[in-house]
Amino acid sequence: MKDFQTYLSTAPVLILAVSAGLSGLIIEINRYFPDGLTFTL
Task: Look at residue 37 and tell me whether its pLDDT is greater than 70.
Answer: no
> What domains, with CATH codes, occur in the chain?
1-32 (1.20.5)
Task: Look at residue 4 and tell me whether its pLDDT is greater than 90.
Answer: no
Question: How many residues does the structure list for the chain?
Answer: 41
More confident residue, 6 or 37: 6
For the segment 12-34, what is each residue's pLDDT rounded down to a tens digit? 888 999 999 999 999 998 888 88
Whole-model pTM over 0.75:
no
The answer to whether 27 and 20 have CB atoms below 8 angstroms apart is: no
More confident residue, 35 or 30: 30
